[in-house]
Amino acid sequence: MAHTNKASALNLGVTIFIFLAVLTALEFFVAIAISAISLLAVIALVKAGLVLYYYMHIYKLNAEKEGDAKSYAYKTGSNRLGLWLFLLSDAFVFAGLLVSRFNLLGFTRPHLNQTLGLVVTAVLLISSFFMNRAETSMAHGDQKGFMTGILITIGLGIGFLVGVVGVEWRLAAAEGVTASGDAAGAIFYMMTGMHAFHVLTGVIFLLVVFNNGRKGLYTQEKHWAVEASTVYWHFVDVVWIFFYPALYLIGALVG
Amino acid sequence: MKNMKPVWRGLLWLLIGGVVGYALGLGLDALVGGNPDFVAPLGGLFALLGAAVSFFSGLVGYRGITRGLVFQVIGTLVGGFLITGIRALMGLPTFGGFFFSEPAWVFGSLVGALSFLAGVGALTDWFKWAKGEETSDHHSDPEGFVKYFGVSLDHKVIGIQYTITSLVVLGVGGLFAMIFRTELASSQLQFLTTTFKAFDQNGLQFYNTLMSLHGMLMIVSILLGIAGMMNYLVPLLIGADDMAFPRLNAFSFWIAVPAAVLLLSALFLGGFDTGWTGYPPLSTRSPVGIQMFFLGVFIAGWSSILGALNLLVTVVRMRAKGMTAFRMPIFVWAAIATSIISLTATQLIGLSFQMVMFQRLFGLGFFDAARGGNPVLFQHLFWFYSHPAVYVFILPGLGIISELLPPFVRKPLFGYKWIAMSSLGIALVGFLVWAHHMFTSGMNEYLRVPFMYSTLLVAVPTGVKFFSWVGTLWKGKITTPTPMLFVLGGIVVFLLGGLTGPPNATVSTDLHLHDTYWVVGHFHDTMFGGYIFPFFAALYYWFPKATGRRMNEKLGKLHFWLMTPSFFVLTLGMMRIGLLGMRRRIADYDPQLGFDGTHLILTIAGYLIFISVLIFLYNLFNSMKNGEKAEGNLWKSRSPEWLVPSPMPAHNYDQPFEVVGEPYDYGLAGSKYVQFAASKEKDESVAGKTKKAKS
């Protein structure tokens, strides 16, 4: 990424976003038209792969040794490894929830509002695009672009939270998917709740970074906190890439 | 009072604080219950907290851990009253059997644990970072023992904090074992017939709570103990000046302290009767104590996860020059293997416990079969951590055995690469074996045979280790100071534990052995052989490194020769009565079964082990001040930490070292493991520096 210029970084970000959007739409129509669970799984894996590589820059873990052990670049390398290990650990929580979902519900799914599901998914996806804009702006020294990007991301993140916790939870309860009802309700609230908790912490993280960015604490060379919040935000998006089909698309409708 | 020794002052304050806390707890109880009951559980809980606060306050004053505990008590009350207020506004019942209602206790405890961290000062630097302020990387600790009672960023201090906390928890867990072991000495109920009003439990419930807490306290103790060894040793062994993330390291330690407090508070809040496994549906019906248990384990789990993360980054990023993967000390390999498990699998015990907590708090129906839930799901999630967890416990210990054998036999370690790989092998196979705990649980039957074979597969990498140890001992010049005694004891005990494993792994025999004392005997063998013995060996071995003095050899040998035979009697006896039909986890048994005599012997053996550990503790604390001076390379080790004087300098190595040879080439003439920069020619080191700067 270091060798690309700003315009090509924007192009890349837009291209990946279009790929992700098309795949999400495809996912939705596959689920409606043909009930092909393996195809949905493949699409989710491709989407996750795109985000991991192009938005989260997983290849940076393999970067050459950066200067001596006391340098900022070397410490950032250690921080990066630490963050990825944390995400790996966190991924086990979400994997455990997915396993629980299939153990309890098998290939059935709760009755949820499809339009709202697609809308919140789109909101999170668009937020990922702007998060990527914010980070690449900072990497090219564009403070203003960074501030705009991160502000839009925070807004969309709050929008997602309101959509899931404020609207979807009410609608689901009205449809009979209640927390104290059957296991389907239990796992629905647990999965969306755990994910929403991570979105909430991500928003808080972004607010902290935004505030420090406002003070001008980050530079083109030194902006580890920006990178960390970006990677965390995209990770939360990757989780939703799997949770969305698992809750909304896969399996036969019951209840 | 100013002239008193801090310890005596602490104990005096402990008494006063206990009484004050007790009165406070009784007052709160009377406030809600309306009748002043002079043995109320809340009084007990507050007496414990008050005593702890006062003890530390007398010892070190109002700082560090004292402040943390005060914050925790206040935070718990604030959180509890907040939820109580909200419940009052919503028209729900406000107070429960233990003053607060269950949701108020859970939320309050969570707030309390976080308040502890804020109070102790583990979050200070992070808050500064969030505000965009710089913090100093250079840590300066106060002189003397006070630094161990507050936040320190030095990995050596944190390692000792972990170790001492681990020993305290070990003592409490052992004490619980002594209590129920006494009851088991003969059939019928003896002293557990009374009602323990101070714990709001009758004798049998109290037995269940002690038995369950014994399990989990020992697990937490082991997790703290291995974290202590890894924290203290790994940076020294790889030549780093600290862990990769010193603040995270301090955080990982300090978060374990409120977790231990929560676990102990379960005793006063009605206890719980599920055993350490907490299976639903029983755990969904236990008293509120089980919520404290779940929360305590959950928080201790984060200590383990973050510690593992820190360790992995440290090893990957901070090794000395020339320390390639296969020139790392073998203990570092073991630490990596164990950290891979704790980093990932721990999340699933956290998740499974959270799900039960939520089922109790919000009525989510995960494990309620009547609502389409599945209790067996809990067991899958739980054992996905809790079986690999036993490898978390033993791998560092087995690493210690491999690490300490060569210096005491003066021979190279046999099959270094195989041992390194066998640790990783055990860790990876360990992920595939969890359902062998569930052969009788009603899971799908087709799962039994694959899990049987994957479990038996663990014997292969474990066998590699035994071959290597025997090969290392073969024709060596064996000397047996105390650490080596514990290493040898560990090997033999672990062998017994290993050989009694396959009968449990094999479906046909496990159906008979499941939930008997045979399993209890097997398990204690693996834990003692894989952790307790090597842990003691490591303490005797590295004690001079930390203090500049050595522990008393005579007392050390007494400790070993008292503990080891007693231990054999204990576990072999357990296996005997297990085969004769003694069920685990029960307070009483039928005299017709005919093993009253064995039980009596087991209880005596248990007491002897307890006494031997007391001797050890006396030796440990006494030697800190009065031990024989040992500042040089006491064990003639090749390892870098022994090539500098003891106790270890504050910032580890003044001169960086370079690895120039194999780590365990003991007895080979002219071989060298590390070379310190200072011992090189002067101009050469200058040339090296300019070369480094260029690259």
Strand partners, B659: B674
Q: Phi and psi of B229, rounded to 5°?
A: -65, -45
Work out the minimum CA distance from A233 to partner chain B, whole angstroms. 17
**Could you say which DSSP state residue B666 is in?**
T
How far is the CA of A97 from the CAs of B276, B350, B366, B550, B564, in angstroms?
Answer: 23, 12, 11, 50, 44
Work out the minimum CA distance from A176 to partner chain B, whole angstroms. 14
Closest residue in A to B320 (Cα) is A69
Residue A49 has pLDDT above 90, yes or no: yes
- Give A-chain residues touching B129 at CB under 8 angstroms: 225
- Give B-chain residues touching A90 at CB under 8 angstroms: 347
> Best residue in B303, B309, B348, B359 to probe A by mutation, most A CBs within 10 Å?
B309
Q: What pLDDT, on a 0 to 100 scale, did the predictor assign at position B687?
A: 41
Residue B533 has pLDDT above 50, yes or no: yes
Tell me which residues of chain A, numbers 50 to 79, contact chain B at a CB-CB cutoff of 8 Å.
Answer: 68-69, 74, 77-78
Q: Give the model's confidence band at B654: pLDDT under 50 very low, under 70 low, under 90 confident, else very high.
A: confident
Residues A103, B374: C-beta atoms closer than 8 Å: yes
- Give A-chain residues touching B346 at CB under 8 angstroms: 89
Specify the amino acid at residue B60: V
Specify the amino acid at residue B383: W
Element (H or E) spanning A108, and its range? strand A108-109
Give the Cα separation of B256 and A78 in Å (integer).
Answer: 25
Mean model confidence pLDDT for chain B:
91
Tokens coding B427: 């860790």
CB atoms within 10 A of CB B42: 25
Helices (H), B185-288: 203-238, 246-265, 282-285
Residue B554 in contact with partner chain A when CB distance is under 8 A: no
Residue range B592-618, pLDDT digits in tens: 999 999 999 999 999 999 999 999 999
Per DSSP, the three-state class of B61 is coil
Residue B144 in contact with partner chain A when CB distance is under 8 A: no
Give the Cα separation of B92 and B85 in Å (integer).
Answer: 10
Residues B132, A215: C-beta atoms closer than 8 Å: yes
Of B32 and A59, the structure prediction assigns the larger pLDDT to A59
Q: What pLDDT, on a 0 to 100 scale, did the predictor assign at position A181?
A: 86
Cβ(B591)–Cβ(B187) below 8 Å: yes
Cβ(A237)–Cβ(A128) below 8 Å: yes
Residue B187 makes CB contacts below 8 A (sequence gap 6+) with B588, B589, B590, B591, B596, B599
Q: What pLDDT, on a 0 to 100 scale, did the predictor assign at position A65?
A: 66
- Give A-chain residues touching B380 at CB under 8 angstroms: 99, 103
Residue B507 makes CB contacts below 8 A (sequence gap 6+) with B439, B448, B449, B452
Residue range B97-156, pLDDT digits in tens: 788 899 999 999 999 999 999 999 999 899 999 988 888 776 678 877 888 999 999 999
| Dihedral sign of CA atoms B65, B67, B69, B72 in order | negative
Cβ(A226)–Cβ(A146) below 8 Å: yes
Tokens 């559980």 appear where?
B41
Closest residue in B to A90 (Cα) is B347
Helices (H), B239-372: 246-265, 282-285, 289-317, 330-362
Q: Is the ipTM above a cut-off of 0.90?
A: yes
Q: Largest Cα–Cα distance in chain B?
A: 83
CB atoms within 10 A of CB B453: 13
Q: Give the model's confidence band at B238: pLDDT under 50 very low, under 70 low, under 90 confident, else very high.
A: very high
Per-residue pLDDT averaged across B415-434, rounded? 94
| Dihedral sign of CA atoms B637, B618, B218, B98 in order | negative
Of B132, B309, B350, the CB nearest to A82: B309
Give the Cα separation of B397 and B95 in Å (integer).
Answer: 47
Q: Give the model's confidence band at B684: pLDDT under 50 very low, under 70 low, under 90 confident, else very high.
A: very low
Work out the minimum CA distance from A92 to partner chain B, whole angstroms. 6
Residues A96, B316: C-beta atoms closer than 8 Å: no
Give the Cα separation of B384 and B158 in Å (integer).
Answer: 29
How far is the CA of B66 from the CAs of B59, B122, B150, B278, B603, in angstroms?
Answer: 9, 13, 9, 32, 37
Residue A148 makes CB contacts below 8 A (sequence gap 6+) with A133, A134, A137
The DSSP secondary structure of B545-592, one letter per residue, reads HHHSEE--HHHHHHHHHHHHHHHHHHHHHHHHHHHTTPBTT-S---GG
Residues A89, B132: C-beta atoms closer than 8 Å: no
